[in-house]
Amino acid sequence: MRKIIDELDEGPVLDAALIGAAQKVEHYEIAAYGTLTSMLKAMGEIQAADLMAQTLKEEKDTDELLTQLAESEVNPAALGKRPANDQTKGSRGAA
Ligand SMILES: [Fe+2]
């Protein structure tokens, strides 16, 4: 992530790149925790498997939140398009 921060100017492109980098980490964690959950189940370590599955769910939830943030706001801004929820422009200032 340091390299991304050093190479890009502050703004929506950097934000999009940082979200992508964070999602790489989440996907790595999902793979690791998913494998561990399966292995613990196979070993009969059900309590530990349940705990690992909770952590796995947290990682998936975080990944989904990052996707929602990227798709709703950051990616459109990075591409020079108005975010779907941006109400700072448009008819509001017509008075
Ligand atoms: Fe994570």
Indicate if the pLDDT at residue 95 is higher than 50: no
And the tokens for 69?
A: 């943030």
> How many Å apart are CA 9 and CA 36, to the nearest integer?
39
> How many Å apart are CA 85 and CA 11, to the nearest integer?
18
**For position 71, what pLDDT does the model report?**
96
Cβ distance 74 to 85 under 8 Å? no
Q: What is the mean pLDDT of the chain?
A: 89
Q: How far is the CA of 95 from the centre of ligand 1 (A)?
A: 46
Name the pTM for this structure: 0.80
Helices (H), the chain: 2-7, 12-42, 46-69, 75-78
Q: How far is the CA of 80 from the centre of ligand 1 (A)?
A: 29
Q: How far is the CA of 21 from the centre of ligand 1 (A)?
A: 12
Per-residue pLDDT reduced to its tens digit, 49-89: 999 999 999 999 999 999 999 999 999 999 999 765 665 54
